[in-house]
Amino acid sequence: MLRAQVCSTGELSFLMEAHDGLSAAIAERAGFKGLWASGLSIASSLGYRDANEASWTQLVDVVERIVDSTTLPVLVDGDSGFGNFNNARLLARKLRQRGAAGIALQDSCFPKMNSFLGERHPLAEVDEFSGRLRAVKDTTGPDLVLVARTEALIAGRALDDVILRAHAFADAGADAILIHSRKSTADEVLSFAKAWRNRVPVVIVPTKYYRTPVSAYRDARISTVIWANHSMRAAIVAMRRACDRIIAREGIASIEPHIAPLEEVFQLLRYDELARAEWRYLYPD
Ligand code: SPV
Ligand code: MG
């Protein structure tokens, strides 16, 4: 299912960020057809910085909770693969075992830093990163969609260099290229898409160029748009407002109409299924 979304240049797909089972269930209920297990959002919800402070096993555990909470395919942000080719293929194998549908690996050095922070974003050597991709492909084959993400624009490289990298990563077996940018306009990703001509499909993350209408991506035959961190950021505002109000009023009465009723929690986590199962297995007669 994820392959059909990420690897199609005919129809634009959208992946919604999830960082735990609850955010995954909410995204599915809203109608999204696929999820992005965001490194930034997962790290933030665990109280870590998006600088490989969370371990790969912590990531895998969260992904398992996401996978178990929805029927949607999950593309996992695998950062740089947590090391060399060996760490990357181990991560990919474990993610596959836990039910992930795809992994995105970026051509950064370990530890990475969030793309929107700081000036230092050292890139991995093309051959070394291509080895990471080949190792993952050899390990998980067609069972796991492999998205190669280049941080070359983030690192300030010229378009020619970005294209050379993308070709090397496609040669290494990437099913799609994620081109990342931190500009406030889509110009550089659209220039990439034009020059790249969809040798393999293109995935984008318009966090900073959020004003661009999605029609521009359809016109450019982009395959997939990732809304990368919006549930996590929405939750921060909602939780902050609730905390501010409760501490100021020393009570919870005024907040009640503004928060999810408990029934919604029970629905999202399918307590009705548990009740039916109790009748079936505890009280069959
Ligand atoms: C993430 O969601 O963790 C990403 C996308 O990698 S970004 O934070 O935009 O770099
Ligand atoms: Mg990330």
β partners of residue 227:
16
Q: Which residues contact 211 (CB under 8 A, 6 or more apart)?
A: 184, 185
- The ligand 1 atom nearest the CA atom of 43: 3
Catalytic annotation, pick one of 50, 77, 79, 175: 50
Q: Determine the distance separating the centroid of ligand 2 and the alpha carbon of 175, expressed in angstroms.
A: 19
Cα separation, 176 vs 166, in Å, equals 9
Cα separation, 284 vs 87, in Å, equals 48
Nearest CA to ligand 1 atom 8: 40
pLDDT tens per residue across all 285 residues of the chain:
898 888 877 899 999 999 999 999 999 999 999 999 999 999 999 999 999 999 999 999 999 999 999 999 999 999 999 999 999 999 999 999 999 999 999 999 999 999 999 888 999 999 999 999 999 999 999 999 999 999 999 999 999 999 999 999 999 999 999 999 999 999 999 999 999 999 999 999 999 999 999 999 999 999 999 999 999 999 999 999 999 999 999 999 999 999 999 999 999 999 999 999 999 999 998
Residue 143: φ, ψ to 5°: -75, -20
CATH of domain 2-235: 3.20.20.60
Q: Do 148 and 120 contact (CB within 8 A), yes or no?
A: no
Does the annotation count 219 as an active-site position? Answer: no
Element housing 41 (H / E):
helix 39-46
